[in-house]
Every structure is written in structure tokens, then in C-alpha cells.
Copies of this chain bind each other. A is one copy, B any other.
């Protein structure tokens, strides 16, 4: 049976500190593009892959209880992506279907039916959107803000990593609900996007605050001033947490009574061998604040409702989405690593094949 080339991105070694491109390598294996007789697996051609911060944690040497998703040196990375079904032994999928879900970083993947794959029904929007606004990051923003964050009309909302895959949606969804929204990001270009493209009420570049890298106390006081005086004179109702560390510590001082902090990620901490200490947690008692970690997996059931909400908003141009697109599987390591220095502007997508 004919075999074809199957380029793959493998983890070379477990990672400590900031990931480097050399922690991964590109190999060319081969694959038979035919399901074994009687298999209920699905054979996919991968088109677009999603680069997400949580992937960094899967590169760690596992400690404590095993994480079934942790990457293994010598095996391909895994992640969300958009794929085309080449052959299916599973009744839910058939040849030619477009799907998005959990796949491998390679040209072709043979997946067991247990994987999460959603059939793509709407193709009048860019297919890459199913790695972002219409995929895992979209549901994450939606569930985090409305369900975990219990967003109320008029709330004062702060979001960090605000121009990222999730952050840009959090702000726009909150604006659709008549909220006041401010975001933080790591460059002038990104901050400009917040107000000029996404309609935020304000934004600031956390890297430009002179004392932010000084002693923790000083930084907090400084961030406190920025957030409190400049943007939230009345405090914050909902902080959508993407970064952790010093930003969280500063925000805690500025939460309003009964504030909510949906905790989606803590990207500032993932590359540290010892995480920064958060010293202002007692504030959640005084202000009766709810801090809740969550991820997409618990909110998958909202996907149909989410599409009903979002598709019309996309079609009418009321919600927009900025993507940063890297071409070719061989550029995967660089695209992924770039997330942690903030090189990407908007959702980082990796193109494996345009069809």
C-alpha cells in the first residue's frame, strides 16, 4: 500500500525555563493513507494548528500524578487544529468532512475515535477561525466571562494578555454587554489594537511601567496606581486572568465587592522554575471575591449556544479577530516559542496545508 511522507514536530526533550526551538525537532516519517480493515479510527489531513500557552506545561517533565496529555520526548506534540477527514471508520465522520479538535503536530494523523472532534458546519468564515475565535479559545473566552465570571451588564472588566487569542474576545464580548473594558498587553502595537480595532475603553503596556520589574512591593504599588487611578477609579468587577504573578497581585488590591476572577491561564509563570508568590490573596476575603480556575473541557456542551451567539456577530462585523499566521509545519517550533516572548500579535496559527 502506498505510503506518503508525514512531516512531524516532535518534542526533543523535557523543558525547563523558557522553551527554545531546539527543544523540538522536525522529522519526516511515513504513513499509509488507508485505515486498517474494521478500524473505527479517523484518518485526518491536518490543515491548521493552534499554538496555545497551555502547551508549555505539557513540555515539563511530569511530576506527581500522571497527566495523560503531557508530551513525550520523541513523540509529536498534540494540540487543537482544523483537519480534513480522509477516511473514517467512525459513524460520526465521513470522507471530506472538515473538523476541528485535538490532533497531532504532523501532516496526517490517525486518531482513535475517543478524541474530541467537532464537525465544521459553517464555512462562510475563514477555516483558521476554528483554531481560535470559533474553537477552543473562543469557547474559553465565552465560558470564562459569562459562566465562570458571571458577567453582568455594566461591569468594569480588566483582561490581561488582552490582544491574545482569548483576550481580544473577552474584551469584545464584554463590550457587547455594555461593560467598561480595559486590557493590558506587551507592546504599543498591541495596546493600539485594543482600542482601535477591538473597541476597548482603554489599555496599557505593562512593559512600559518603569518599576514593574523592580522589587515586588514597588511593582505592585506602581501597578496599583496605574490600574486604580488611571483606569479603574471604582475598582474591577471582573478580572479575566491570563498572566498571573505581579499582575494578579496588583489586581487583587483593586477588586470590588463580590468581584470575580475567572482564571484561564498564568502565562507569566509557566517558564519560571519557581513561581512568583502572590501576596494579596487575603483581599478575596475582605471583598468576597471568587477566583476560579477553568478550562474548555468543562464547557464543551456550550458549543452550540456559543455558535448561535457568535456567528451572527462575526457576520455583521460586530466581533473581529486578529490572527498571526505562520506558514509550514517546520515553522511550528518558532511560532510556539514566540508565544512566550509575546512575538505574536493576535491568535497564533500554524498552517500545515491550505487544503
Contact = CB atoms under 8 A, between A and B. Distances in A.
Given A217-B274, A277-B276, A244 B282 contact: yes
A355 interface: no
A245 to B, nearest CB: 9
Nearest to A272: B279
Nearest to A254: B64
A81 interface: no
A48 to B, nearest CB: 25
A290 B288 contact: no
A274 B280 CA distance: 9
Q: Number of copies of this chain in the oligomer?
A: 2
Interface of A: 57, 64, 216-217, 244, 248, 253, 258, 263-266, 269-270, 274-295, 298
Contact of A289 (B285, B289, B293): B293
- Looking at A281, A289, A290, which has the most chain B CB atoms within 10 Å of its CB? A281
Contacts of A270: 282
Describe A's contact surface by its main secondary structure.
loop
Determine which residue in A276, A289, A293 has the highest number of CB atoms from chain B within 10 A of its CB, and name it.
A293
Contact of A285 (B216, B264, B274, B281): B264
Contact of A278 (B265, B274, B277, B292): B277
Contacts of A284: 263, 291-293
A283 to B, nearest CB: 8
B294 A292 contact: no
Nearest to A277: B277
Contacts of A265: 285
A182 to B, nearest CB: 19
Contacts of A279: 274-278
Contact of A64 (B253, B281, B294, B295): B253
B288 A295 contact: yes
21 contacts: A64-B253, A216-B277, A244-B281, A263-B285, A265-B285, A266-B281, A266-B285, A270-B282, A277-B278, A278-B278, A284-B292, A287-B293, A288-B293, A288-B294, A288-B295, A289-B293, A290-B290, A290-B292, A290-B293, A291-B291, A292-B292
Nearest to A249: B277
B282 A266 contact: yes
